[in-house]
Amino acid sequence: MSSVQSVSSAKLLRHYVDGAFVETPTHFDNTSPVDGHLVARVCEADAATVDRAVTAARAALSGPWGATSPAERAAVLHRIADGIQARFDEFVAAEVADTGRPVEQARTLDIARGIANFRTFADLIKTAGSDLYEMRTADGADVINYVTRKPLGVIGIISPWNLPLLLFSWKVAPALAMGNCVVAKPSEETPSSATLLAEVIDAAGVPPGVFNLVHGFGPNSAGECLTRHPGVSAVTFTGESKTGSTIMKAVADGVKEISFELGGKNAAVVFADAEFDAAVDGVMRSSFTNAGQVCLCSERVYVERPIFERFVAALKAKAEALRIDAPDAAGVQMGPLVSRAHREKVLSYFKLAEQEGATIVTGGGVPHFGDSRDDGAFVQPTIWTGLPDTARCVTEEIFGPVCHVAPFDSEDEVVRRVNDSAYGLAGCVWTTNLSRAHRVARRFQTGLVWVNTWFLRDLRTPFGGVKLSGLGREGGRHSLDFYSEITNICIKL
């Protein structure tokens, strides 16, 4: 057994404020979910540090950055992307050290998407157009209306731990692209790749104050200080629905712009006419990728009754064949959860499922290695059947490598069951019937629907959820709109 230890236990991760790396006296531990070793010590920002960052950001808005053209900002974003590429292996190591995810996933998904986020929004702002409308008044005068986008101001960014660089850059890149300044707080669980990004941004020649990084927690720490700061113009957050509600209350008095991508209890629907092997492989990916720690994962699976038993058996065989190990082990397919604390939450649902009467098809416990990995945060991929739709394990987001598989008999029935949820982020439909695919996808009450695939993203398309899964859309033009103050100019000729 081996484990990637990318950051020395003596390393101190500092804030990046007004163009300089700064230390604060309070520190906290960042530990490995693989074996519990100390990855780094992390500075915790206090209210004064957050205030200094916001003040620097507001000052930078009226400096040279505020006068940059879209082409100039695009060049900056490309330099940042080049900087990540040049230090690709360092970013992979940092991401793996914090999350324990397989090295190959970090290489092909996390860091690659971080680079793509900067390049995509750089190219978008160079080619983005605007709206123009012509009209004639009753007295015969000609009028034109056109739309301009200006920076929104200082953007407060709070990002999660499950896909650290991917989701951090998903917000930083368009915010900078539109000429804003940023104060960003990564998750306290995964601070390493954000700190590396600050180094890259510094080396790319971004003016002081344009990008600021503060580390810390949520309540009574950096997160709360940031969301409550009067100098912050807008807040974008990805994370738990309950935290989103708290942030919404914090920004309400200031009537600040918000964009939330929150939790999900996503469903995958497999019709009997689906390409069977592709559907099994797809549900495997959508349930167990990143140990189930993706807001888009399928925790509810509905399978048409004629193929139900066969499907459950095939999914069980594939789940039991998953290689669970340290991130750099040969052939590893699933790593640990992000922390032992999160593992306790997931294990509590394993216990709850038994209490609610679930049939455990496979998993439901903790793998044992007989070495230091037993000090990590590993759990078994777990499949349940037999629970009613009202069971807590079927209605509450677990955020682990779990799914409940249930049979269904008709299209109307399964659509009703899919939509009977407090969440509405994403859904999957597996069928070879083209008419059914379009019909069912339109009836899902979700922000995204995949047909015969999962996690396939064109970054120009809208991303976000409904109900408790979020507020607003980001991606492509939708990000340009959110991170802008949109002004209509009306001219009578």
Active site residues: 261
Contacts 24+ apart (CB under 8 A), 22-28: 22/49, 24/49, 28/188, 28/217
Pairing between β-strand 132-136 and β-strand 142-151 as defined by DSSP bridges = antiparallel
Write the burial class of residue 451 (CB in 10 Å: 0-12 exposed, 13-18 middle, 19+ buried). Answer: middle
Residue 300 pairs in a beta bridge with 267, 404
Q: At what angle do helices 88-99 and 111-127 cross, to 10 degrees?
A: 120
Residues 428 and 267 sit within 8 Å (Cβ to Cβ): yes
Q: In b/e form, how buried is each residue of 226-263, taking b as 16+ CB within 10 angstroms?
A: bbbbebbbbbbbbbbbebbebbbebbeebebbbbbbbb
Tokens representing residue 156 in the block: 């407060």
Residue 193 has phi, psi (to 5 degrees) of -70, -30
Q: In b/e form, how buried is each residue of 46-79, taking b as 16+ CB within 10 angstroms?
A: beebbbbbbbbbbebbeeebeebebeebbebbbb
Q: How many CB atoms lie within 10 A of CB 401?
A: 27
The Cα–Cα gap between 427 and 268 comes to: 6
Residues 197 and 165 sit within 8 Å (Cβ to Cβ): yes
The Cα–Cα gap between 292 and 398 comes to: 9
Residues 146 and 20 sit within 8 Å (Cβ to Cβ): no
Q: Is 72 helix (H, G, I), strand (E, B) or coil?
A: helix
Q: At what angle do helices 88-99 and 70-86 cross, to 10 degrees?
A: 70
Maximum Cα interatomic distance, the chain, rounded to a whole number of Å: 86
The Cα–Cα gap between 186 and 192 comes to: 9
Ramachandran area for residue 464 (φ above 0: left; ψ -120 to 50: alpha; else beta): left
